[in-house]
């Protein structure tokens, strides 16, 4: 079973008023690679129900991790030829980035002030022509520390 630490929902007007959720899973749980999966952070884009868009929706998207200045640290791009989003379907990467890379090796870059910045860019290509509009979603996840004194 996978547990998402963040489920940020947003809508994109230029993509048919579709509703989406970014899923960040700190320990992926691909059953066939359970041991290896726990070494990775998974990142998915999920289409929600109840939007005005078509039943099936094809588009391109990019999932990225950014540094404090908005520069790209790690990303994956998925093209519309590969997948069609119907409601409550999700696509992304189970082995998006190694946990050790984010939490230890390059923590200062990936987690400035204990904040992970995730960006999702979405766009649609129709009849070989790219539309001007793009949809963006960016979420920042902070770590809250609570100290208890007894």
The pLDDT of residue 113? 85
Least confident of 40-49, 81-90, 103-112, 140-149: 140-149
Which pLDDT tens digit goes with each residue over 65-96? Answer: 999 898 999 999 988 777 788 888 899 998 89
**Is residue 129's pLDDT more than 70?**
no
CA distance 54 to 99: 36
| Residue 36: per-residue pLDDT | 58
Q: 10 Å Cβ neighbour count for 25?
A: 20
CA 23 to chain centre: 6
For residue 80, the model assigns a pLDDT of 74
Q: State the residue for tokens 């404090």.
A: 68
Q: How confident is the model at residue 140 (pLDDT cuts 50, 70, 90)?
A: low
Q: pLDDT band at residue 98, thresholds of 50, 70 and 90? A: very high
Q: How confident is the model at residue 8 (pLDDT cuts 50, 70, 90)?
A: confident
Any idea where the domains of the chain sit in the sequence? Answer: 6-149
Place of tokens 């870059």: 109
Task: Fold for 6-149, please state it.
Answer: 2.60.210
What tens digit of pLDDT does each residue of 108-126 get?
A: 999 998 888 888 888 876 6
Contact criterion met (CB below 8 Å) for 81 and 73: no
Task: Give me the pLDDT at residue 83, please.
Answer: 79
pLDDT at 9: 80
- At residue 32, the pLDDT reads 46
34 has a pLDDT exceeding 70: no
Stretch 45-64: mean pLDDT, rounded? Answer: 87
Q: Report CA Rg, the chain.
A: 17
How far is CA 59 from its chain centroid?
15
């Amino acid at each position: 079973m996978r547990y998402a630490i963040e489920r940020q929902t947003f809508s994109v007007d230029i993509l048919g008023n579709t509703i989406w959720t970014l899923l960040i899973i700190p320990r992926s749980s691909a059953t066939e690679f359970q041991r290896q999966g726990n070494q990775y952070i998974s990142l998915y884009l999920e289409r929600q129900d109840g939007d005005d868009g078509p039943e099936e929706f094809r588009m391109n998207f990019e999932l990225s991790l950014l540094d404090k200045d908005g520069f790209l640290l790690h990303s994956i791009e998925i093209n519309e030829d590969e997948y069609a989003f119907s409601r409550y379907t999700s696509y992304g990467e189970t082995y998006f980035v190694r946990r050790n890379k984010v939490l230890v090796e390059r923590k200062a870059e990936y987690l400035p002030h204990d904040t992970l910045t995730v960006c999702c860019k979405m766009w649609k290509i129709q009849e070989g022509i790219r539309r001007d509009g793009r949809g963006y979603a960016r979420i920042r996840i902070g770590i809250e520390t609570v100290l208890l004194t007894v």
